[in-house]
């Protein structure tokens, strides 16, 4: 099974429990929306990798105005948990495909958001290039390779997701704006509970990078009682090419 299929399978498999295990993604979504100007209103919002609708719910709570909300996600199970509404259009699409945005009426005043999803993008460059063609306002929160840093070090493996530098390089090609980096920690009673969280939250993307031997080593030697998360935030405008 390829990586993308594994990511979607994992999110679909644990979709029902996702809302119990998405503490960090919820915080990240809230931190992302706090970057938006106060009392703003938009014609259209596109949420890439919208999942079960964390951004949508928080947008409603914050009373951010919009006419139409497009939620794009590959997992039908996650999309089925997303709120419905007359002004909500759900798109079951793969953001790794060239035609992911086909038929989406992107316009100059479209607000493009993505929270905790683009770390699974196989060609971030290509997606950002497509998006930036319309010079939209974008707000991204993307997990980077410092996530689970000590766990990866203890197991002796490399992070499966892009580094901070790689994400920044891609974004800077197509957008100008501001970056900020945040680190989060989630505390656990045991390393077993930590592994359970990793499985249920889908943050590993279902990548079975870790062998039984490596798991045993982490169980024995992991020096922290928390997991580390590293997230890069970006707010900016498309560079007209
Ligand atoms: C960690 S969840 C984040 C969901 C939501 N944005 C939030 O903040 O809670 C990542 C989402 O990305 C979606 N995803 C992963 N790979 C994808 C792909 N290739 N195309 C579209 N969606 C994808 C998953 O199905 C999942 O719903």
More confident residue, 183 or 206: 183
Please tell me the distance between residue 120's alpha carbon and the centre of ligand 1 in angstroms: 8
First to last CA, the chain: 37
Which atom of ligand 1 lies at the shortest distance from residue 95's CA? 20
pLDDT digits (tens, 9 = 90+) for 22-62: 889 999 999 999 999 877 888 999 999 999 999 999 999 99
Pocket mutation for ligand 1, best pick of 22, 120, 231 (most atoms within 8 Å of C-beta):
120
Please list the alpha-helical segments (H only) found in the chain.
3-13, 15-21, 23-33, 54-61, 76-81, 124-132, 149-155, 164-174, 191-201, 212-221
In the chain, where are the structural domains located?
A: 3-238
What's the confidence (pLDDT) of residue 35?
96
pLDDT of 6 > 60? The answer is no
What's the confidence (pLDDT) of residue 184?
95
Confidence of residue 11 (pLDDT cuts 50, 70, 90): low
Which atom of ligand 1 lies at the shortest distance from residue 12's CA? 25
pLDDT of 86 > 60? The answer is yes
pLDDT of 206 > 60? The answer is no
pLDDT digits (tens, 9 = 90+) for 173-188: 999 999 999 999 999 9
Residue nearest to atom 27 of ligand 1 (CA): 51
pTM above 0.85, yes or no: yes
pLDDT of 208 > 60? The answer is no
What are the Cα distances from residue 90, in Å, to 197, 220, 235?
A: 28, 44, 24
Please tell me the distance between residue 220's alpha carbon and the centre of ligand 1 in angstroms: 32
What's the confidence (pLDDT) of residue 2?
59
Complete edge-to-edge strand list for the sheet that includes strand 41-48: 88-92, 65-73, 41-48, 111-115, 137-143, 226-238, 175-187
Pocket mutation for ligand 1, best pick of 3, 7, 9 (most atoms within 8 Å of C-beta):
7
Superfamily of domain 3-238: Vaccinia Virus protein VP39 (3.40.50.150)
Confidence of residue 240 (pLDDT cuts 50, 70, 90): low
The mean pLDDT of the chain is 89
- The ligand 1 site (C-beta within 6 Å) comprises 4, 7-8, 11, 22, 25, 29, 49-51, 54-55, 73-75, 78, 94-96, 115-117, 120, 202
């Amino acid at each position: 099974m390829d990586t993308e299929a594994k990511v979607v399978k994992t999110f679909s498999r644990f979709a029902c429990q996702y809302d119990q295990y998405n503490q960090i993604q919820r915080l990240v979504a809230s931190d992302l929306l706090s970057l938006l100007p106060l009392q703003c209103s938009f014609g259209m919002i596109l949420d890439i990798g919208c999942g079960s609708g964390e951004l949508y719910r928080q947008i409603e709570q914050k009373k951010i105005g919009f006419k139409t909300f497009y939620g794009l996600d590959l997992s039908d199970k996650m999309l089925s948990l997303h709120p419905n509404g007359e002004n909500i259009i759900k798109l079951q699409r793969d953001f790794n495909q060239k035609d992911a945005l086909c038929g989406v009426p992107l316009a100059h005043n479209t607000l493009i958001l993505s929270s905790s999803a683009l770390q699974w993008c196989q060609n971030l460059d290509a997606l950002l290039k497509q998006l930036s063609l319309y010079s939209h306002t974008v707000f991204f929160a993307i997990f980077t390779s410092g996530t689970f840093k000590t766990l990866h070090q203890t197991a002796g493996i490399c992070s499966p997701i892009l580094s901070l530098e790689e994400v920044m390089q891609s974004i800077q090609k197509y957008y100008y704006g501001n970056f900020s980096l945040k680190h989060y920690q989630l505390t656990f009673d045991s390393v077993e509970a930590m592994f359970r969280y990793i499985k249920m939250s889908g943050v590993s993307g279902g990548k079975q990078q870790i062998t039984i031997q490596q798991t045993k080593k982490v169980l024995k030697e992991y020096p922290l009682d928390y997991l580390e998360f590293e997230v890069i935030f970006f707010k900016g405008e498309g560079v007209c090419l």
